[in-house]
Amino acid sequence: MTEQRVSYTLDSTLETVDSAEQAASRIATEAGFDDDEVMRIAMAVREAAVNAVLHGNAYDPGKKVSLAFEQTGGNLVITIKDQGKGLDPDKIPDPLAPENLLKTSGRGIFLIRSFMDEVVISASQTGTEIKLVKHVHGPSEGVKEASQ
Amino acid sequence: MSMKTSTRQVDGVTIVDCSGRITLGEGSVILKDVVRELLSKGQKKILLNLGDVNYIDSSGIGELVSAFTTVRNQGGELKLLNLTKKVHDLLQITKLYTVFDVKDDEANAVKSFS
């Protein structure tokens, strides 16, 4: 994996969500992930972008979403930051709890955690930053996993 | 590709053939509107054919849940047909696979409505 960094500053719009997903799909493909992993990475980025645009910046045209992709040390590291009030990850209800199964929202962070290897959420009064990490597995590891 | 739907009637069951993406924005709104319109016409036996739906995000999942509970609350039934692997996997990890009545054969699915 060649080390490189790409960053974007995006408006708080639905188009940003689609753009973030498409950029993630393209960069994950270029980084050598297979189709299933590309889909998972792109969906995690989409969900993080939805949180940033809707819940963080609340579609405020004066607030931006920062998106960065970094390929370093065998990892694809993706950072999404908004300028909202800050998300407290401890206050997110468990979407798998029986009483929450039929809720119509609240699954975004859960899907992100399901699809990425590491997820770090840092919240402050000036916004929320979510860092997503996906490890690039070598071919030998892939064969080992497939044979198990 | 955005979402498209078309509806047809088979033995008193309304089959909604969906294609494209059910995501935040247009896709979710289309699904909500289709189900709302069917209910307003008294069509409460609804089979959502998701065979050509290649992508659903958390908003789309939420809309499926909303459709399911809305139909059920009005005394109807909403079932899912022909899940793609991606959608199947998503419903599995969100533990919704056992909440929805999921079918993979249209004729049997139609017969299963009470």
Q: Report pLDDT digits (tens) over A126-138.
A: 999 999 999 987 4
Closest CA to B53 of B15, B3, B109, B94: B3
- Reading the block at residue A114, the tokens are 């399901």
Our count of domains for chain A comes to 1
- Spatial strand order of the sheet with A75-81 comes to A4-11, A64-72, A75-81, A127-135, A118-124
Q: CATH number of the domain at A66, please.
A: 3.30.565.10
Q: Given this model, what pLDDT does residue A2 score?
A: 63
Residue-wise pLDDT tens digits, A102-115: 999 999 999 999 99
Residue B40 identity (one-letter amino acid): S
- Reading the block at residue B34, the tokens are 């289709």
Q: What is the mean pLDDT of chain A?
A: 90
Tell me the ipTM for this assembly.
0.90
Residue-wise pLDDT tens digits, A7-26: 999 999 999 999 999 999 99
According to DSSP, the residues that pair with B16 across neighbouring strands are: B7, B48
Q: How far is A140 from chain B (nearest CA, A)?
A: 26
The number of residues in chain A equals 148
Cβ contacts of A19 on chain B, cutoff 8 Å: none
Q: CATH number of the domain at B97, please.
A: 3.30.750.24
Residue-wise pLDDT tens digits, A34-59: 999 999 999 999 999 999 999 999 99
Q: Given this model, what pLDDT does residue A3 score?
A: 72
**Mutual orientation of helices A14-30 and A35-50 as an angle, nearest 10°?**
150
Our count of domains for chain B comes to 1
The pTM of this model reads 0.90
Cβ contacts of A20 on chain B, cutoff 8 Å: none
Residue B40: how many other CB atoms lie within 10 Å: 8
**CA-based R_g, chain A, Å:** 16
Q: Which residues of chain B have pLDDT under 70?
A: 1
CA distances from A61 to A11, A12, A48, A122, B60 (A): 7, 6, 18, 23, 25
Q: Which domain holds residue A47?
A: 4-147
d(CA B60, CA B40): 22
Residues 74-133 in A contacting B (C-alpha not used; CB under 8 Å) = 95-96, 101-105, 107-108, 110-111, 114
Rounded percentage of chain A residues whose pLDDT exceeds 90: 80
Q: Given this model, what pLDDT does residue B28 score?
A: 85
CB contact under 8 A, B62 and A105: yes
Cβ contacts of A24 on chain B, cutoff 8 Å: none
d(CA B41, CA B50): 22
Q: Which domain holds residue B63?
A: 4-111
Cβ contacts of B61 on chain A, cutoff 8 Å: 107
Nearest CA in chain A to B54: A39
Q: How far is A15 from chain B (nearest CA, A)?
A: 10
The number of residues in chain B equals 114
CB contact under 8 A, B58 and A105: yes
